[in-house]
Chain A
């Protein structure tokens, strides 16, 4: 009843805001929705969240709305997007992980298709059926076959990247497993313009989509899944220049500075402990040239975040100029935590040779640069949390969430309630007065939404949406986690982790420094029991022995690039081996 009242109050607020707005600019009674998804943005990468990076537009959005400190998402891309679009657990939605990481042994299991199952319905479909214009400009990564592209999953207009990522400056793949960067316009393959830069062009396209139907009386749902700040980390030169001196003190100082700023902002408790990741290198041991190089890698990252903020600012300003802003719910978040991939490691050069990239200092972040920030700076981007993308530590799963819009009162500081990526879909439906899907939709069975409606938190009518009997479980590549109240049990699979379950209080110790498993054995056991039930329910499979996600990406890439060549090589080798052995034996006998 309390939630019903909260939702009613929110909807009433939204409708009254809309009615009082300028009639020429706000044609609909229902609110527009702008959903902005950054890619691989770290927990403290925004100014409002404790960053030194200049993000005035997102900071202003946060001040005007509600910011969340305890929002969790999946630990990598497609699973997060599947839950965001459907409100359904990613395993049930067919996206246990990205398709590039699926081992062939599991590719027949429904949960491991790596593309969004037809047994789910997207919020775009639901909103479109409810009379919304639906637009997408950016990365999709939930399937590229005709029936899976967003044009056929509820989006009316789309400018879409099908892949896990791509170059930000031109139509160029960033991984050798792609022949090209697969961009689509309204369901058909398309080419990028010469002067492309991802954040700028994605925003421009979204504006053109919204503008094309503006004033026809229908509200819009606009989804902006940006490429920023996924690798290649690239930014315009003028943005890079602003950060050239910002990171010369190294990752340890940056991580500590971010921790202090996060404490001052009220994001984390004042005494929050912080672990040092075992993957963090010794900054002081680096040569001056190496320090200079590392500092520039991160300067490009800072520039890319600011460029993203600048272009989001342009979009928000356009909404204001056209009178749509006051009637638009704006949601900003990231698909997962900071990315620790490192293109400076041995072996990366071969991939870059194939894609035509380099990591030369002079052009870091510019065209043809496959810049990354590596695990040490990624750890700082996630400060004060531990771990990063692909891992189920808080650094991989806890990201910023900002919600602003009509009917929502600005709130200082942060809402500290636990929230989950699958909650956003039902929240959007609730805020737009759109019905949730039942067990069937469009004539076929669909999974019901599992996420919680957050409107109670948004209106201040609730402190929590997850109760004492609620659990949220998640798995990625053998890394497992269960959230419950203030706690979390977590298992980091080998080789990155030790394969042991641990219990943490992620409210008082979000850095996951103190294992409480022996202190709270009953809670620990109860959460382990929940994991086992989830494993069964969601169809989580045991990974093949020796599975390692990044190695699997390379193997799958080789299989895709040379599917027959490898088999031909192996069979030829098989036939030749007896001759080689016989030749060797004969040689030995002759010598004897």
Chain B
């Protein structure tokens, strides 16, 4: 039962990320301001929509794949991705005059840590 609840808690942010990815593809103008961005023009818009959608869809799909296959690597890599995103935000604040986005950094670190430790329990059977 405990593992089942853990699986659901791991899956929830993954599902949200999948929906974020789809939103970047379908209605980018609506989600861009959520991340403090304008939609940009031309090549910038292409990169923004393509990369953001790819990042969120990959995050979500990887974690869900990890839950289904019970292979930890599928969850660890997104956790590392999230942790690096948080680190990047801190460095952007320190060296590139960006805002210290604590409202983003906090959840990113929490989710990364949660996925890292939860995957240990969920994928216990992988060793066997």
Binds A, one of B15-23, B37-45, B90-98, B113-121: B15-23
Chain B residues with CB under 8 Å of A572's CB are 15, 18-19, 22
B80 within 8 A of A: no
Chain A residues with CB under 8 Å of B67's CB are 579, 583
Give B48-70 as 1s and 0s: 1 = Cβ < 8 Å from A's Cβ atoms. Answer: 00000000010011001101100
A571 within 8 A of B: yes
A582 within 8 A of B: yes
B26 within 8 A of A: yes
In whole angstroms, what is the CA distance A576 to B64 when docked? 8
State the total of A-B contacts with C-beta under 8 angstroms: 35
**Known contacts A564-B30, A568-B23: A575-B68 contact under CB 8 Å:** no
For A570, the closest partner residue in chain B by CB is B22
Q: Which of A564, A576, A582 contacts B26 (CB 8 A)?
A: A564
Chain A residues with CB under 8 Å of B27's CB are 564, 567-568
**Known contacts A575-B57, A579-B68, A586-B68: A568-B26 contact under CB 8 Å:** yes
Q: What's the least CB distance linking B37 to chain A, in Å? A: 17
Chain B residues with CB under 8 Å of A582's CB are 68
For B24, the closest partner residue in chain A by CB is A568
In whole angstroms, what is the CA distance A579 to B8 when docked? 13
Chain B, interface residues (CB within 8 Å), range? 10 to 19
Chain A residues with CB under 8 Å of B19's CB are 568-569, 572
In whole angstroms, what is the CA distance A485 to B68 when docked? 73
Chain A residues with CB under 8 Å of B30's CB are 564
Chain A residues with CB under 8 Å of B61's CB are 575
**Known contacts A582-B68, A586-B68: A575-B18 contact under CB 8 Å:** yes
Residues of A in contact (CB 8 Å), total 12
In whole angstroms, what is the CA distance A582 to B15 when docked? 15
Q: What's the least CB distance linking A577 to chain B, in Å? A: 11
Contact between A567 and B64 (Cβ–Cβ < 8 Å)? Answer: no
Contact between B65 and A579 (Cβ–Cβ < 8 Å)? Answer: yes
Q: What's the least CB distance linking B7 to chain A, in Å? A: 8
For A571, the closest partner residue in chain B by CB is B22
Chain B residues with CB under 8 Å of A568's CB are 19, 22-23, 26-27
For A565, the closest partner residue in chain B by CB is B27
In whole angstroms, what is the CA distance A572 to B61 when docked? 11
**Known contacts A576-B15, A576-B18: A571-B26 contact under CB 8 Å:** yes
Q: What's the least CB distance linking A514 to chain B, in Å? A: 56
In whole angstroms, what is the CA distance A568 to B22 when docked? 6
Contact between A583 and B68 (Cβ–Cβ < 8 Å)? Answer: yes
Q: Which of B22, B23, B26 contacts A575 (CB 8 A)?
A: B22
In whole angstroms, what is the CA distance A583 to B65 when docked? 9
Q: What's the least CB distance linking B101 to chain A, in Å? A: 24
Chain A residues with CB under 8 Å of B18's CB are 572, 575-576
Chain B residues with CB under 8 Å of A583's CB are 67-68
Q: What's the least CB distance linking A285 to chain B, in Å? A: 48
Chain B residues with CB under 8 Å of A571's CB are 22, 25-26
Q: What's the least CB distance linking B121 to chain A, in Å? A: 16
For B15, the closest partner residue in chain A by CB is A576
In whole angstroms, what is the CA distance A586 to B70 when docked? 10
Chain B residues with CB under 8 Å of A575's CB are 18, 22, 57, 60-61
Query: Which of A576, A583, A586 has the largest number of chain B CB atoms within 10 A?
Result: A576
Chain A residues with CB under 8 Å of B60's CB are 575
For B19, the closest partner residue in chain A by CB is A572
Q: What's the least CB distance linking B52 to chain A, in Å? A: 14
Which B residues lie at the A interface, using CB under 8 A?
A: 15, 18-19, 22-23, 25-27, 30, 57, 60-61, 64-65, 67-68
18 A-B pairs whose Cβ atoms sit less than 8 Å apart in the complex: A564-B26, A564-B27, A564-B30, A567-B26, A567-B27, A568-B19, A568-B26, A568-B27, A571-B25, A572-B15, A572-B18, A572-B19, A575-B22, A575-B61, A576-B64, A579-B65, A579-B67, A583-B68
